[in-house]
Every structure is written in structure tokens, then in C-alpha cells.
Structure 1
Amino acid sequence: MAPGRGRAPWWRRTALLLPAPGPTPFTFTYLCVLVATSLFAEFGDRGVVGVLLHASSTDVAHLSRDPLLVLVASALWVAGGLASPYVVGFVFVLTALERRIGAWRAAAVFLVGHVVATLATEVPVAVSVVAGHLPGSSLHRLDYGISFGLLACVGALAGLLTPLLRVLVLAWVAVMLLHDLLKLEDPVADWGHPLALLIGVCGWPLVRRAARRQSRTTPVSGPW
């Protein structure tokens, strides 16, 4: 077999799973930001970290005052820090999605999932407080992280996988989300996660069209 025409070395195939400045600038840059904020949250001054996290929270009180600011700021932190499984999911899911549809479109999927799922879960909280079904303290709950945007990207990426892999991914994620719903330790997040996943799934026609356009300009190679 002639050199260069066989299967790429394992290390090169593995590298395609990871973000890089050239092929996946959105994922790479965003990951650097998340690493920086996670390290600061871990080793920075406890008081300053607490103030910043509360100021970044997408609770009803903050959303009513500074919606754009907190929607952006809340996505700059990872709940649980670098040890969170969301970081691993972010690396592989966002890298795969961005390679297939491009940086701007991948960013749009993440942003739509983050914003829509946040508003769809916090608005009912506000209504419930006004109706007297929840205490006023519910307006000030701490809520931040990348999980809504990530799950929207998982849902979108599933539409670009082979049928078998698509079923396996969605089934695995659905089981985890159902487990969280049954425990219902954090109702806002536990209901927001499946909603975010559904947002990504609803975007399959647009994502597939974007993937076809992307493949005509930049052929995608990789283990997926």
C-alpha cells in the first residue's frame, strides 16, 4: 500500500476528536475561557468567586434586570469545575459538531439551546412566585453553567451520526436525563436539560443542510 493512502495513524485520528485553533476555533477558544474561569473558581479568592458566580446567575431577579449580561456571563462557568463530566462532553461534542457545520453555526446551536432553555425554565419560576406557588427566594437561586448549550449541541450532533450511533447516543443521554428527572434534585435544570436536547433535535433539518454546505467547502475527516 502506497504511503499516505492507508488509514491515518491512531494518534492523528485521535487528534481529530480534540479542538484546535485552526479547524475548530469556536470550541478551542471557548474551552480556553472555561479552563481559565474554572481554575479561577478553584483557586481564586472565595469571596470574589462567590460574588462573580452570583452576578452571573440566570435567576429570575438577574434576568429581569440584566438579561443579556447574565445570559452571556452564566455560560462562562462550568458547574462543578474541570472535574465535571460536562467538560468532557463539551470537548468531544462541540469539536465534532463544529467540524461538521462550522464555527458560527456551532456557536449558534449552543447559544440557542442556552438561551431558550434558560428562559423556558426561569419564566415558569417567575409565574409560580407571582401566583404564590413558590417562595420569593426562588427568584434568587444560583443558576449558571454550560449544560443547556451542550445538550442542544448533543441533540444537533445526533442528527449527523449514523442511524445506529444516533440511537445509542440519544438513548444513553435520555436515560441519564430521565434518572435526573426522577430524582428531581434541581427541578429547573432537570426539566431544562431534556428541553435543551429537544431544541437540538428540532434543528436537524438546518444542521444537516449546514453540514452539506460545509462538506462542499471543507471535507470532514475523522473517526465519526
Structure 2
Amino acid sequence: MERTATGPVAAASPPPAGTPLSDGTAAVFPALLDGMPRQRGATAPAPVPLEVRPLPLGARLWRLLPTPAGTPFTFAYAAVLALTSALAAVAAPQLMNVLYQNSSTDVSHLVRMPAQVLLASALWIAGGIFSPYTAAFVLVLTALERRIGGARAACVFLAGHVLATLATEIPVGLAVLFGHLPASSLHRLDYGISFGVAASIGALAGLLGPWLRWPLLTVVGGLLLSDLAEFVDPMTDWGHLIALTIGVASWRFVRRWARAA
């Protein structure tokens, strides 16, 4: 409404679009006005596609390493392993021997305190921080966690660690029970992250393309078979192959988890 000196006067509505004006032009009004809701039937302009630029090489390399926000499970686990490795490097050999013995997943400890030794044995890196399994742990667990999440990556790792340990130690216990092995076989040093790493490699292979998957499995499987053929530590070598097989057997689950993630 507009107000004049004599009283309110209704505001004149604008002429319809296309109505001839006094100057000979036609009235043209936009279909949409700023601040007004979109009219029914009006079409929005097509969005302008954004340019997708590849990540710089440095950023891509950085994603290969664990970070607190991106891969919290791998980052926290790697920090724990770094601490235990530092302790192993500076502590007295007698102390480390006691710690390794109490963390060993041999038959004797598995019978008496299975949960404790299964957890404690995964806190050490057999061979120290410069073991090849250290680099494999960091790279493989980081890649796996980025694809399926931290909790699921932990499940894959623990499945390989626990199941491969039981698959190698239970036959030893049975062999001792039936007299095929001496009683000393019940007491041995068996600790480290290698079974969990082997299972994680097998699981990660299922998320890679065929040109990466099969060469990876061929190389890793060949190395494990070569170690077994040397017959230096056949129980551990069998455990590595079993753990790798457990990872491969999890492909259906990790692929489903990757799609969900």
C-alpha cells in the first residue's frame, strides 16, 4: 500500500509480461526474483562442473603413512610398537628374555592364560624395528584401514594373529599328548606381529585391481614358501601361510566393508 495526502491508495500492480508500453517496448520481467522462492515449473541452471585436480605427489605419498585422524588404529598401534621396540633396544637382555617368555604364545602359556599371551605377543616385533614386517605393518595396515575403517582392519589383523597361532600350536600340543613330540616342545618363544601382517596383506589384495592383486600374492606367497623350504622355523612359516590364507578368505567381507565405508 502507498499513502498519499488524501489517504491510502493501492499500489499499482505491474503489467503482465509482454504488455506493450507507452514507449513501444514490451514489459519483460524475470521469472524469478532475488529473495523469492523458486516458482513451480522453473528449471535451475545446470551446475558448472568443478575441475577435479589430482593430489600432489607429496600428498599422495603422505597417505601411505598412518595419521591420528585418518588411520587412528594403525597410528596408535604403530606408536605402541615403537615404544616396545625402543624398550627392547635399551633394556638388559635378561629383562627382555623374561618379557618375551611371558609374552610367548606357546602351548604352555596358551593353556594357562590364553587371552593375556595372545594380546602380549602382539606388542613385540620379532627381529626388532628394522624387521621387514615393520614396513609391511605400516604400509599395509594404513592402506587397509583407509579402505575399511579402523575397527574392521583390527578384526582382520587379530583374526590372522589369533587363528594362525592356534592353528600352529594346537597340533604341537596334540603331538606331545600322543608322544610324537617331546615335552620341551610345549615351551618355545613365539611372539610378534607377523601373523597379523600376513593376514592383512591377504585381505588388502582383495581390494586391489587384478594387475596388483595377483603379483602381490605371488611375491608374498613365494617368499613364505621359500622360508618354509629352508626348514629353519617350520611352525612359524606354516603360520605365515595360514595367516595369508585367512586374509584371502576374508575377501567377501572386506569388499563389503569397503563398499559400506
TM-score class, shorter-chain normalisation, is over 0.9
1:48 equivalent among 92, 95, 99: 95
Give structure 1 stretches of 5+ with no counterpart: 215-224
Aligned residue in 1 for 2:112: 65
Q: Separation in 2 of the partners of 1:168 and 1:208? A: 19
What is the total number of aligned residue pairs between the two structures? 212
Q: TM-score, normalised by structure 1?
A: 0.93
After superposition, residues 56-205 of structure 1 pair within 5 angstroms as 56-205=103-252
Residue deviations 1:74-116, cap 9 Å, x none?
0000000101000000000000000000000000000011000
Cα deviation, residue 181, structure 1: 1.2
Cα deviation, residue 4, structure 1: 7.7
Q: TM-score, normalised by structure 2?
A: 0.80
After superposition, residues 2-41 of structure 1 pair within 5 angstroms as 5-41=52-88
Q: Separation in 2 of the partners of 1:205 and 1:184? A: 33
Q: Larger helix proportion, structure 1 or 2?
A: 1
Aligned residue in 2 for 1:221: none
Aligned residue in 2 for 1:220: none
Q: Separation in 1 of the partners of 2:95 and 2:86? A: 13
% identical equivalent positions? 58
Relative to structure 1, is the Cα distance of residues 4 and 62 closer, same or farther in structure 2, using a 3 angstrom cutoff?
farther
Q: Separation in 2 of the partners of 1:176 and 1:140? A: 27
Cα deviation, residue 49, structure 1: 1.3
Q: Separation in 1 of the partners of 2:83 and 2:94? A: 18
Cα deviation, residue 123, structure 1: 0.3
Residue deviations 1:154-191, cap 9 Å, x none?
00000000011000100000110110111121111011
Q: Describe the SS at the equivalent of 1:47.
A: helix
- One-letter amino acid of the structure 2 residue matched with residue 138 of structure 1: S
- Once superposed, what is the RMSD of the aligned Cα atoms? 1.1
Q: Separation in 1 of the partners of 2:216 and 2:174? A: 35
Aligned residue in 2 for 1:222: none
Q: Separation in 2 of the partners of 1:198 and 1:211? A: 19
Q: Separation in 2 of the partners of 1:143 and 1:89? A: 19
Residue deviations 1:170-217, cap 9 Å, x none?
000011011011112111101111100000100100000000000xxx
In the TM superposition, structure 1's runs of 4+ consecutive aligned residues that sit over 4 Å from their partners are none
Q: Separation in 2 of the partners of 1:184 and 1:43? A: 31
Give structure 2 stretches of 5+ with no counterpart: 1-49
Q: Describe the SS at the equivalent of 1:82.
A: coil
Q: Separation in 2 of the partners of 1:102 and 1:9? A: 24
- One-letter amino acid of the structure 2 residue matched with residue 143 of structure 1: D
Cα deviation, residue 134, structure 1: 1.3
Q: Separation in 1 of the partners of 2:250 and 2:239? A: 17
Cα deviation, residue 131, structure 1: 1.6
Rg bigger for which structure?
2
